[in-house]
Structure 1
Amino acid sequence: MGRKSNKGKEKKKRRKEEQAKLAASFTLVEAANKQEDPMATMAPFKKYERNGLNLAIECKKVAELDKDTVDWAFSVTKDNMQTLYEESNWGWNDRLKKEELTEDKAWYLVARDQDGQPIAFSHFRFDMDEDEEVLYCYEIQLTKTARRKGLGKFMMQILQLLANKAQMLKVMVTVFKMNTESRDFFLRALKFELDETDPGLCDPMEADEYCYEILSKKTVLGVKKQQEGDQCCSGSGCSRNQPH
């Protein structure tokens, strides 16, 4: 029996490396989801006292929230988003949105006033996206009285810090193209960019058919790994896959 070719050995080696990398990513996501309080070491961010607001901010799994808070989260999401959903090709569905908001993996960042009443929240998850460990922001919703006071930006900064702390590679979010206020918030105020998985980038000939965009912002670790990849490719002469 002849010796295995070097090409076969290299292929097997790459496959093992890819499997090891994927296993490590899943381990990081699992560890992030096992946290009792992701904000335990972030005391300065548990309060927001600016622009007439005096709020306490907590981070909990959906299973740890009381029913009234969960019901409120659905209600404010419906008030803020139903029209946009109905104007898109997604449509609005109470049952599906409730299921999404209460899925086992859901985490919540909740801002409450001095009476303990919630006035803003973010539903997010530590998860895998295209074989990468990410923090995905599903919702960030504020009541009308809490808007344009810096709270939304502050809460997104917390999510970025949580993603850094958990060694995720980026923070991701999906936005409706028609929601210009939300797009400006993420793209201009927070410096998010179109993610490489955005359907308009992946399918440019049909980009207008998609009613949404996928945006992202890399974490410290994500930026470091990108730079390492750039250096590797530059030194070896290989060609990197570009967004398409």
Structure 2
Amino acid sequence: MLQDREQKKLKSKLKGKERRAAQKAERAKQAAAQLLVNQANAQSDPLSKFPSFVNYERNGLSCNLICKKVKELEPEILQWAIELCKDNMRPLYERSSQGWQECDKVDEMSEDAAWYLVVLDKATDKPLAFSHFRFDMDYGDEVLYCYELQLEEACRRKGLGRFMMQVLELVAFSNQMQKVVLTVFKHNPEGMNFFKKCKYDIDETSPEDSYEESFDYCILSKLNKMKPTQKTSL
């Protein structure tokens, strides 16, 4: 009986050590991931390393791409982006459970953590399209989260949106992000089809419908194939 108790104590002690070691490893992983996010956010221009990706000359479009933090973005461009997002997305939000909350959207697009990839017409400097994105931690992973991808009507179906997603992926993966993540409404089939064509899949963090609750959106992602896949801690 005494021997049994000693064996149980030893097993418990070993499990405690294993648990503490696992917790220590998880903390180290989180710290390393956060460091990558901090380094990505410390950049002045994520596109500076990729001069061949700052121009788009296809299908009648002649554009420059710039990438800036929101606090460095010209106020008139930010206001244009907010208005374009409203024009494009308000009908979809109004069909969702959350509805269109303009103040919340403006606050989100103006937060210090926001980055903007903006497409400008070469001849006029008129903005044509933008993406609001962030380098952030998401369920324990270092990610580039694409909040918005919005194009003026005249620029659509010309390959520009797909090119912008390729640029975001290049920026994400060159900064060692684990994946690019985005949210899309289920009642937006055009958006769903577009991201599927860009090879985005349902992310493991996407909520699943149940008898108790259903969701009108899903979360898509594309993994960085140059990094080992790590199990996300949910």
The TM-score, its normalising length taken from structure 1, stands at 0.87
Shift of 1:7: 1.8
1:45 is matched with which residue?
A: 53
Shift of 1:204: 4.0
Is 1:143 matched up with 2:148? Answer: no
Shift of 1:190: 0.6
Is 1:167 matched up with 2:176? Answer: yes
Shift of 1:225: 1.4
Is 1:89 matched up with 2:94? Answer: no
Q: Distance in 2 between matches of 1:220 and 1:15?
A: 26
Q: Distance in 2 between matches of 1:205 and 1:124?
A: 33
Q: Secondary structure at the match of 1:215?
A: strand
Give the counterpart letter for 1:63 in structure 2: K
Is 1:123 matched up with 2:120? Answer: no
Shift of 1:10: 1.3
Over aligned residues, Cα RMSD in angstroms? 1.8
2:112 is matched with which residue?
A: 104
Is 1:28 matched up with 2:36? Answer: yes
* Residues 109-153 of structure 1: per-residue CA shift (max 9 Å, x gap): 000002111000000000000010000000000000000000000
Shift of 1:206: 4.7
1:213 is matched with which residue?
A: 218
Give the counterpart letter for 2:155 in structure 1: A
* Residues 25-64 of structure 1: per-residue CA shift (max 9 Å, x gap): 1111000000011011100100000000000000000001
1:155 is matched with which residue?
A: 164
1:233 is matched with which residue?
A: none
As a proportion of its length, which structure holds more helix?
Answer: 1
Q: Distance in 1 between matches of 2:46 and 2:190?
A: 29
Is 1:225 matched up with 2:228? Answer: yes
Give the counterpart letter for 1:54 in structure 2: S
The TM-score, its normalising length taken from structure 2, stands at 0.91
Gaps of 5+ in 1: 230-239
Q: Secondary structure at the match of 2:86?
A: helix
Q: Distance in 2 between matches of 1:122 and 1:22?
A: 27
Shift of 1:220: 2.5
Q: Distance in 2 between matches of 1:57 and 1:220?
A: 25
Is 1:185 matched up with 2:194? Answer: yes
Report the structure number with the largest CA radius of gyration: 2
Q: Distance in 1 between matches of 2:225 and 2:54?
A: 22
Percent identity at matched positions?
49
Q: Secondary structure at the match of 1:220?
A: coil
